Amino acid sequence: MKNKATSLDIAFQAGVSQSTVSRALRNSPLVNPETRQKIQRLAKELKYKVDKNASNLRSQHTGTLALLLFEDPTSDDSMINPFFLSMLGCITRAAAVNGYDLLVSFQQLSEDWHADYEDASKADGLILLGYGDYIDYAEKLNQLKEQETHFVRYGSVEDGQTGVSLGCDNFDGGYVMTKHLIAQGHKSFAFLGGADAHCPEFQARYQGHCKAIVEADLPVNQTMQIDAISTEDSGSDAARTLLSLDERPDAVFCASDMIAVGALTQFHRQGLSVPDDIALAGFDDIPVAHLTSPQLTTMQQNTKLAADRLVESLIKQIHNTPVESALIPAKLIVRESCRKSN
Amino acid sequence: MKNKATSLDIAFQAGVSQSTVSRALRNSPLVNPETRQKIQRLAKELKYKVDKNASNLRSQHTGTLALLLFEDPTSDDSMINPFFLSMLGCITRAAAVNGYDLLVSFQQLSEDWHADYEDASKADGLILLGYGDYIDYAEKLNQLKEQETHFVRYGSVEDGQTGVSLGCDNFDGGYVMTKHLIAQGHKSFAFLGGADAHCPEFQARYQGHCKAIVEADLPVNQTMQIDAISTEDSGSDAARTLLSLDERPDAVFCASDMIAVGALTQFHRQGLSVPDDIALAGFDDIPVAHLTSPQLTTMQQNTKLAADRLVESLIKQIHNTPVESALIPAKLIVRESCRKSN
DNA sequence: CTGAAAGCGCTTACAG
DNA sequence: CTGAAAGCGCTTACAG
């Protein structure tokens, strides 16, 4: 980039002041239409672009949003959870549509994330995305709040949380899926996925799952809840643990599709047929879910809708419009992996 | 963000000049170690962060890289090609490792991309990623060059291209895969994917494919090359067209895994068994490739390696170190979809 | 509607 | 090793 044109160059050529150039370029009504047109034409000719650093510095906002993606430290380094990848894609688009740039950052690499972004005047607001230990990061949310940083979180939505969160209605999702499983005639169940406060999203799915079982007067078997994080390997391990137990459930509900995919591989490896020997359900509806064999029945999270809401909510906060946390419903997608087993 | 601390606040509390604070914070050797420590401690206490806009404006560089992702306008709006999604993830990481921020942008939304980023002083350099009509965009590359914008492109690598490109060795990839198919005993082939200059990557894969066939003294059948873009639907359509022809090939080589996945679905729908009735191979090794049934034999593009190289090359250019275009080899991943059919 | 001037918060010669 | 000063390229009161 040599000899970049500045607003002064344009002012000189247009025979007006630099202030007028600045106004004309931002379509201020305070400028004569003819002057404006002349200036805008000149700007195009000179390939002039407003220097963002200068304008941001002066006006004290950035026109960019930052997306902080947390990753489970145990997850495979080279592979990002496809669900978040999909969210990332949709958020990028939503930000662009609203005229914001998007700064993307992975947060395994910096412990100081809570301060890094807005403090550095890089972004007007933050989108927080990812699994990760909720208990660890609840405190950082308080710091963000204290600094009056604008942020939205995608994740579990509960009363008393700091800041605004959007998230899938995990409890209802777990409930709906389990009702479906019961309606298919299944009577005993396993749940693959961590189900404690460290991972409140999975926990809510589990609680919804249990509610449906109890409502159907079926027994909840605690030993059938096996921890797993959202990776194929972890799902596979959990499935192996499950199959080593004395009894085998009719249906296995996995806290995420990644877990389900891992479990499916394990079931096949041990000679079990899905859904004939054992039914299998996931959560998320990631792109692979309809490509596995059998195709996976799952609860769909609408990533495009979620991304739009996230960006909208953040921009409202930036404009000081009050916003509230909200739940986004998940949708049951019935495919092949849960057909009645007898 | 209220009352944000500035370097002046620190200078005042430390009893030194603002210049010294600036130097101390950037670890300049020109500052007394004790003074430096005092200043750095103070900065931490006050949660001070350097204002990027101000420092970028003054020093005339941004510390950020911009990733421009082109998309095939025909592709499904809500779904980004998983191969590029994976690249996006790896590039984000690679940028972070090198101390750069990453601005992500989808380029269906702006025709003016060639000017938008570096000109606006948003980024020190550009990474160009995506399929898209090469002929359309070759000219824009010239504009970038003319403006002395730093950029790297991921895509086809050919002599006489403007700027520096990194890319998979598509020709060799097509060749290696086809040799494998031949070694499995297959004698007649179809190729699913566009094979003209608008999509030079697919074209190169096709040319490598043909070379292997010719070398084996087998006939190349032009009617068996069926256009497709890299989506499931397009692959499925191409497979349908293929099956409507008079003869059926032993093996189908798809220009991408997405095409292969679509083709697989179509074959199953028409009652064909893969690989027993027809062998199927892909290209990319996207995450679903090992989850289909049968698992897909494919040529793997190492996205992590590619991302590292892309970022490295761009940073070198920013530092005015000369860099060259280069090819990254693809790796044959043999799975189940190509076993000999008899 | 327009211009002159201040100033956003830094970095970096320059002088000591 | 340190400080005073200039200046990056804008936006925005302020005065006309």
**DSSP letter string, B78-106:** T---HHHHHHHHHHHHHHHHTT-EEEEEE
Q: For residue B286, give how far its alpha carbon lies from the nearest alpha carbon of chain A (Å).
A: 10
pLDDT in tens, B241-283: 999 999 999 999 999 999 999 999 999 999 999 999 999 999 9
Q: What's the pLDDT band for A1 if we cut at 50, 70, 90?
A: very low
- Whole-number Å distance between alpha carbons of A39 and A42: 5
Q: Find which nucleotide's C1' atom is closest to B35's CA.
A: D1
Instruction: Give CA A262 to chain center in angstroms.
Output: 21
Contacts of B32 (CB under 8 A, 6+ apart): none
Whether any strand D atom is under 7 angstroms from the Cβ of A57: the reply reads yes
For residue B156, the number of C-alpha atoms closer than 13 Å in the C-beta half-sphere is 25
Asked whether residue B20, judged by its CB, lies under 7 Å from any atom of the DNA or RNA strand D, the reply is yes
Burial label, B56 (beta-carbon count in 10 A; 0-12, 13-18, 19+): buried
Place of tokens 């005339």: B60
CA distance A128 to A268: 37
The pLDDT value recorded for residue B74 is 46
CA dist B65 and B124 (Å) reads: 6
Q: DSSP character for B257?
A: H
pLDDT greater than 80 at residue A177 = yes
Tens of pLDDT, residues B291-337: 888 999 999 999 999 999 999 999 999 888 999 999 999 999 999 99
Question: Dihedral (C-alpha) A110, B315, A85, B137: value to the nearest 10 degrees?
Answer: 160
Residue B160 gets the label, from left (phi > 0), alpha (psi -120 to 50) or beta, of left
Q: Which nucleotide is nearest to A11 (CA to C1')?
A: C3
Identify the pLDDT of residue B147: 77
The answer to whether residue B78 scores a pLDDT higher than 90 is no
List CB contacts (< 8 A) between B149 and chain A: 1
Residues 6+ apart with CB under 8 A from A62: A52, A56, A121, A122, A123, A124, B53
First to last CA, chain A: 70
Instruction: State the DSSP string of B169-208.
Output: -HHHHHHHHHHHHHHTT---EEEES--STTSHHHHHHHHH
**Nearest-CB residue to B291 (from A78, A104, A292):** A292
A94 or B342, greater pLDDT:
A94
A149 SS3 class = coil
Contact A155, A198 (CB under 8 A): no
Q: B216-243 pLDDT, tens per residue?
A: 999 999 999 999 999 899 999 999 999 9
Contact A78 B90 (CB under 8 A): yes
3-state helix, strand, coil in chain A (%, to 5): 45, 15, 40
Which residues are paired to B167 by β-bridges? B327
pLDDT, residue B119, reads 60
What pLDDT is attached to residue B79?
Answer: 61
pLDDT for residue B315: 93
The counts of H helices and E strands in chain A are 12, 12
Across chain B, mean pLDDT equals: 88
Q: What is the pLDDT of residues B171-196, one digit of tens each?
A: 999 999 999 999 999 999 999 998 88
Contact A292 B287 (CB under 8 A): no
To the nearest whole Å, the CA of B342 is away from the closest chain A CA by 24
Residue B313 and residue B322: Cα distance in Å, rounded?
Answer: 9
Count A/B contacts: CB-CB distance under 8 Å.
148
Q: What is the pLDDT of residue A295?
A: 93
Q: Write out pLDDT tens, residues A117-128.
A: 566 678 889 999
pTM: 0.88
The answer, yes or no, to whether residue A304 has pLDDT greater than 50, is: yes
Confidence band, pLDDT 50/70/90 cuts, at residue A339: confident
Confidence category of residue A70, pLDDT binned at 50, 70, 90: confident
Query: Which neighbouring-strand residues pair with A64?
Result: A101
pLDDT at A284: 95
pLDDT, position A170: 96
Query: In chain A, what residues touch B96 (CB-CB under 8 Å)?
Result: 105-106, 109-110
Range with lowest mean pLDDT among A197-211, A224-238, B98-112:
B98-112
CA dihedral over A127, B76, B64, A96, signed as positive or negative: negative
Taking the CB of residue A272, how many other CB atoms lie within 10 A of it? 17
Structure tokens at B87: 């690249």
| pLDDT (average), residues A172-193 | 97
